[in-house]
Structure 1
């Protein structure tokens, strides 16, 4: 290996890792409050309650609401779009006590965040379809916010396309930490095939956790780099996150 190549490898080894956590069904279970939040936002936007239920499955809040309006034969207008975030935030705020009562942090989530936080060079935030205020409410309700830098996350209020949120989070984290985060230093952790697709479309290393509706086999078939049954095994999660550095070093040597 030349001196230049060796230096590149050392720089790669010393670089930070950006960990992007999905929220619902990865860190927390919302107990059905999310779908009620969409229904409440729909009523605030239209003046009447919905007949149909929102379809979520890892989509962003704007995409879920657009689909819910479409199910009722209503096209999302500019007026709807301008009021959407406020309606979603108001709807969840009014249900925060229900979220606290019916929801819960998923087993191992708190321990995983804490363990990663004890490692040098790890920046943890969220990549979620929730709009920013609602993501804050959800993680703070269960006390998971202290280990996450929510300033640099990617949210449904940033873009309706989930894969685009990876770039949003990378840019925010890069500006704050004066570090260039790219495919070799970013890890996405989520529970749905949509999370895996978002990672693959953005060239991101994906750890899929089968804590939601999608099975280990479905997540593997979608192309997750690592698949875990849950977050209970903290050591396995840390090993999976740190394996992105091994991939980066292999790339640097090629």
Structure 2
């Protein structure tokens, strides 16, 4: 079997945060720009953190310089670190089958298990430490690596290949995600995409977008088999 790099999305794929991310972004905009409603007019699903901030800044008519975006991101992460602990365990949880899939993949020789997420690295840490799973991922492509999702997936794939000690061209790369943006990013780097219907998009919508396969969640009996290279 070819060396395999697995890149897991976070929100809607690995976990649901019970809205902690959106509330933290709203709080950041309220603190810095007096506009808690900055993100109200668009869905955040599949967007990188920096792209979310940039779009919201355009909507409310403020400068979207790198420094201004950084300031909002810093405020967002600070709020997030508090907000994740306000959500009870019934609403903040790891989706079915995900802990088991990550654990099994990590136990296999020739697998590198990482993240492919629009979250900035520190936001990813905060969200996943809340459910004690962050330490299961050795590397990743993050929203702070690139604002474009395809390029951050490319960063993650290269990091995973380096972990395995082989050129990325020799690897099987698999993106696991819940939005068409995950699917398109995977396609952009020539990767497979396993879709999961645990976010806001249905299994059929993910298949229509071009996912290699898609499941309602990772408790499906074939999900782990396909993740590990069986069809």
Instruction: Please confirm whether the aligned pair reaches a TM-score higher than 0.5, indicating the same fold.
Output: yes
Aligned-partner SS, 2:214: strand
Residue deviations 1:167-210 (CA, integer Å, cap 9, x gap): 11122223333222238511000001111011111111111111
Q: What are the ranges of 5 or more consecutive residues in structure 2 without an aligned counterpart?
A: none
Match in the other structure for 1:50: 36
Tell me which structure has the larger Cα radius of gyration.
Answer: 1
Matched, 1:122 2:107: no
Matched residues in 1 for 2:88 and 2:28: separation?
A: 19
Matched, 1:157 2:144: yes
Matched, 1:80 2:68: yes
Matched, 1:134 2:120: no
Match in the other structure for 2:203: 216
Q: How does 1:1-254 map to 2 (within 5 A)?
A: 13=1, 15-46=2-33, 48-52=34-38, 53=40, 55-99=43-87, 101=89, 102-149=91-138, 152-182=139-169, 184-233=171-220, 235-243=221-229
Matched residues in 2 for 1:163 and 1:20: separation?
A: 12
CA RMSD of aligned residues (A): 2.0
Aligned-partner SS, 2:228: helix
Matched residues in 1 for 2:94 and 2:113: separation?
A: 17
Aligned-partner SS, 1:243: coil
Aligned-partner SS, 2:229: helix
Aligned-partner SS, 1:124: strand
Count, aligned residues: 228
Matched residues in 1 for 2:145 and 2:123: separation?
A: 13
Aligned-partner SS, 1:68: helix
Greater share of residues in helix: 1
